[in-house]
């Protein structure tokens, strides 16, 4: 049987490009697609998903679970970048992805039942409430599962080093002369607990005294709530020299409040974000960029390895991000 690799070598293109042509994807040129299809036909290649599934006992379809508590959906740049990277890696390895839902033919069901109904080879959990019994049922099932940013002990995971991220932000502020910091963090998830730990650890190591009234909880990706928490900090009167916000998007709400209060950034108050979204890069916000490309691709690779090798692990991979120095932290 002719393989996609053989077609790729004959055409002088990548296996991913051959996969896109054979599966009629729209992100390659029509000329390239037709050239690959013609070559494949001449080589005697026949793409038949049903036959391939019967032969390999696999559907070559991966389920993706994305439950966004911020209601931002795919407009949430952090998650959309991870999903794009996950999808790209899956396609390069010959797999399609399908979103998991609660419905089977219009009838309510569980996530696991939907996966079984669709015949998924495995599942990537990009975002979810890990206290949900249905999520736990899925992770504890016999289906290969990989999780992003949560260590369950039941299945493999790929996580950002959130503790290190906050440590680097605090260390950077300290190098800039800041000794009075405020920290508005997201809702209490495992990710947040790691970030809070990193904040306090760095402050302790650098002998920065933390005012507990200046460590507040907001929601991720929530401009309005972040704005209200910023007002609370300003109302205390004794202003911090630098505020760290839960994420770059939430900071936009805080920026409005600071502007209305007549505070200039960074002349009167310094600010830092988290995530490294495109808007932050363009606006010059000092932030910690998460490596979303590595998170998505590493998760997919780990999942495909489990699918194809028939192995189950519960190990985890840590992905390191990087501090992006903008112009929002003043040198004191």
pLDDT digits (tens, 9 = 90+) for 26-77: 678 888 988 998 898 888 876 555 445 544 567 889 999 998 766 655 667 8
Using alpha carbons only, give the angle 53, 56, 58 rounded to the nearest 5 degrees.
55
Pairwise CA distance, residues 235 & 238, whole Å: 8
Give the residue numbers spanning the domain of 36.
4-47
Number of domains in the chain: 3
Asked if residues 140 and 114 have their Cβ atoms less than 8 Å apart, the reply is no
Looking at the structure, do residues 189 and 232 belong to the same domain, yes or no? Answer: yes
Is the domain of 198 the same as that of 276?
A: yes
SS (H, E, C) 242-270: EEECCCHHHHHHHHHHHHHCCCCCCCCCE
3-state secondary structure of 78: helix
Residues 156 and 299 in one domain: yes
Q: What is the dihedral of CA 230, 192, 319, 210, to 10 degrees?
A: 60
Cα–Cα distance, 50 to 237 (Å, whole number) = 68
Give yes or no for a contact between 308 and 57, defined as CB atoms under 8 angstroms apart: no
Distances (CA, A) of 255 to 72, 94, 148, 172, 218: 20, 45, 30, 20, 15
Is there a single domain that holds both residue 155 and residue 167? no
pTM above 0.85, yes or no: no
Whether 327 maps to a domain, the answer reads: no
Name which of 236, 235, 233, 256 is nearest 244 in CA terms. 233
pLDDT of the residue at 50: 47
Contact predicate 313/306, CB 8 Å:
yes
130 and 12 both lie in a single domain: no
Tens of pLDDT along 214-245? 999 999 999 999 999 999 999 988 899 999 99
The answer to whether residue 154 scores a pLDDT higher than 60 is: yes
Q: What is the pLDDT of residue 184?
A: 98
Whether 332 maps to a domain, the answer reads: no
**Domain for residue 256, yes or no?**
yes
Does 277 lie in the same domain as 171? yes
In this structure, are 210 and 127 located in the same domain?
no
Residue 63 sits in the same domain as residue 36: no
- 329 in a structural domain: no
Work out the end-to-end distance of the chain between its first and last CA atoms, rounded to an integer number of angstroms. 68
Whether residue 216 is found in the same domain as residue 259: yes
CATH number of the domain bearing residue 75: 3.40.50.2300
Q: What's the CATH number where 41 sits?
A: 1.10.260
């Amino acid at each position: 049987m002719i393989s996609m690799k053989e077609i790729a070598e004959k055409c002088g293109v990548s296996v991913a490009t051959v996969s896109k042509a054979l599966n009629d994807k729209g992100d390659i040129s029509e000329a390239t697609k037709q050239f690959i299809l013609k070559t494949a036909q001449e080589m005697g290649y026949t793409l038949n998903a049903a036959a391939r599934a019967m032969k390999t006992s696999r559907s070559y379809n991966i389920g993706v679970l994305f439950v966004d508590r911020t209601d931002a959906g795919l407009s949430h740049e952090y998650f959309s970048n991870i999903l794009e990277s996950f999808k790209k890696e899956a396609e390069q390895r010959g797999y399609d992805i399908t979103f998991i839902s609660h419905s089977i033919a219009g009838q309510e069901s569980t996530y696991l039942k939907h996966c079984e109904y669709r015949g998924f080879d495995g599942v990537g959990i990009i975002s979810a409430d890990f206290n949900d019994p249905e999520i736990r049922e899925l992770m504890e099932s016999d289906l290969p599962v990989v999780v992003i940013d949560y260590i369950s002990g039941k299945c493999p995971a790929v996580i950002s080093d959130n503790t290190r991220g906050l440590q680097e932000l605090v260390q950077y502020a300290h190098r800039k002369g800041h000794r009075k910091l405020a920290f508005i963090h997201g809702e209490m998830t495992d990710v947040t607990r790691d970030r809070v730990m990193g904040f306090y650890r760095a402050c302790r190591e650098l002998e920065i005294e933390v005012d507990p009234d200046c460590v507040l909880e907001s929601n991720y990706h929530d401009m309005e709530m972040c704005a209200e928490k910023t007002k609370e900090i300003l109302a205390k009167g004794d202003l911090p020299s630098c505020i760290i916000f839960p994420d770059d998007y939430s900071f936009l709400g805080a920026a409005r409040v600071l502007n209305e209060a007549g505070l200039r950034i960074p002349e009167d108050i310094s600010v830092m974000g988290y995530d490294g979204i495109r808007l932050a890069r363009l606006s010059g916000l000092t932030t910690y960029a998460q490596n979303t490309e590595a998170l998505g691709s590493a998760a997919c690779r780990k999942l495909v390895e489990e699918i194809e090798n028939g192995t189950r692990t519960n190990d985890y991979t840590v992905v390191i991000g990087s501090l992006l120095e903008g112009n929002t932290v003043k040198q004191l």
